[in-house]
Amino acid sequence: MARAKFRLGDVVRHRYYPFRGIVFDVDPVFNSTEEWWESIPPEIRPRKDQPFYHLLAENAETEYIAYVSEQNLLPDASGKPLRHPQVAELFVKEDGRYLATYLLAH
């Protein structure tokens, strides 16, 4: 099993599509429906045996939840603030990093 490259609170961007987001959960391997997986264009369809990330995602038009394979994510070093409304519910920004609030409570 692969070790996850990104951690909770990491800001990432998609390798092919114009969106970015913050990691709020990680699956060690693919954990969605076969229908979802087959809906991805074959030329960028990811392997299932890698970490998949749940993101509070945003593009130029809207905010949403995304499920993305590790191979299709890159670190986002833009420093631009995230506008997804749920970011403030799940994270606090400290020293330039996002920290998960539920981890701080323990």
The residue behind tokens 């490259």 is 5
Check pLDDT > 80 for residue 98: yes
- With cut-offs at 50, 70 and 90, classify the pLDDT of residue 1: low
Return phi, psi of residue 3, to 5°. Answer: -85, 135
Report if pTM > 0.95.
no
In 3D space, the residue among 34, 26, 21, 33 whose CA is nearest the CA of residue 5 turns out to be 26
| Domains detected in the chain | 11-104 (2.30.30)
In 3D space, the residue among 66, 64, 32, 65 whose CA is nearest the CA of residue 48 turns out to be 32
In 3D space, the residue among 70, 71, 72 whose CA is nearest the CA of residue 19 turns out to be 72
Specify the pLDDT at position 104.
64
Q: What is the mean pLDDT of residues 44-49?
A: 92
Specify the pLDDT at position 105.
59
Q: What is the mean pLDDT of residues 83-96?
A: 92
Q: What is the mean pLDDT of residues 78-105?
A: 88
Token reading at 53: 């990330």
Q: What is the mean pLDDT of residues 15-31?
A: 96
